[in-house]
Amino acid sequence: MQKTGILNPDLLHLLARIRHTNALVIADRGFPFFPEIETVDISLVDGIPTVLQVVGALRASYDFTEAYMAQEFLGENTPEVQAQFKAALAGIQVTYEAHVDFKKRVPQAIGLIRTGDVTQYANLILVSGRP
């Protein structure tokens, strides 16, 4: 029995398919459903878990080199929230784009992890690096 790291079997199944240059979406609780990609919903209640908690768990085992976020994130969140995301994504090139353009990238992702996060526009697309 696995005792450390990510324990959710559906999430492990999704993560096992991430390869070089594949994208993974980590979304807040209000992000739309995309039927064409696998979604693993790990939301429990509002705020649990957060996008940043998931990012922290993933960064322990995966190498992500790029991230995409909605430009609207910057206008809707405090400097403190923005600093938390910047710290969590340290070393990853982040590109901000209009939310409508961000959502156009989603169908090309390996899958989507839905969280309970209530932070406005807290959605991320993470792109894996080279092994």
pLDDT tens digits in sequence order for the chain, 131 residues long: 667 789 999 999 999 999 999 999 999 999 999 999 999 999 999 999 999 999 999 998 899 999 999 999 999 999 999 999 999 999 999 999 999 999 999 999 999 999 999 999 999 999 998 65
What is the domain-level CATH number for residue 119?
A: 3.40.1650.10
Please list the active-site residues.
Answer: 20
The answer to whether 27 touches 34, Cβ cutoff 8 Å, is no
Is 11 domain-assigned? no
Reference 88, options 43, 115, 116, 124; nearest CA is: 124
Is 13 domain-assigned? no
Is 95 domain-assigned? yes
Is 46 domain-assigned? yes
Is 104 domain-assigned? yes
Enclosing domain of residue 34: 20-128
Report pTM.
0.94
59/16 Cα distance (integer angstroms): 14
* Number of separate domains in the chain: 1
Is 6 domain-assigned? no
